[in-house]
A and B are shown apart, each in its own frame.
Chain A
Amino acid sequence: DTAVSQTPKYLVTQMGNDKSIKCEQNLGHDTMYWYKQDSKKFLKIMFSYNNKELIINETVPNRFSPKSPDKAHLNLHINSLELGDSAVYFCASSQEGRGREVRGELFFGEGSRLTVL
C-alpha cells in the first residue's frame, strides 16, 4: 500500500478553471503538508495541517484553499487557475507529536503534475 497517495497524478486544464487534488496518508501521522515544486525544482511549502487544524499558511494566493476533513486527508482546491500555477504539487506527512527524533521527517506522495494551458 502506498503510504502517501495523491490523485490525480496528472492534470491538464485551461486557465480560469477550478480543480482539486486529493491526498491521503495511511501512516497514522498527525501532520500533513502541501508543497509546490516549480520548473526549476525549487520546493516551497504552501500549507500544513496538524490534526485537521491549519498551522502553516505561507504566502499563497487565496485562490488556493486546503481542506482537511480528517487527519488522514488533506485536499487542495484551486480556483481560477493561472498559467503560473503550472507545477508539481507534492503532498507530505509527518509525525510531529512523538518527539524530536521524528520531527520534521517528511514522507512524500508521488506528486500531481498540474499543467495550465
Chain B
Amino acid sequence: EIVLTQSPGTLSLSPGERATLSCRASQSISSNYLAWYQQTPGQAPRLLIYEISTRATGIPDRFSGSGSGTDFSLTISRLEPEDFAVYYCQLYGSSSRTFGQGTKLEIK
C-alpha cells in the first residue's frame, strides 16, 4: 500500500505570503490520480485540485498543484485569511485511496 507523507506538519505564514505544501508518496505513482483537499475547523473537506494540477470548480487561481513520481506539491501564491486551514493530499483510484496525514496552515 502506498503511504503519503505530508510536510511540514504545521506551516506558519502571514497573509500575502506564498505557501508550498509537500506530499511525498512511498513509491512512484504511475497515474495522475492525486488530489488536494482543504478543511477548515468544523467543516467538511473541500476539493481544491485533482489529477495533480487541475483546479476544481470555483477554486481561485492562487491555488496550484504540481509534481510527478513520488513528489507532489500544493502552492498558494498569496495567502488570503480564509486559506488558513488543514490541507490533505489523497491518492484516488482503484488501487489506492490513501490520504496524507495533513498539513496545518496557520497564521503567523
Interaction A to B: no
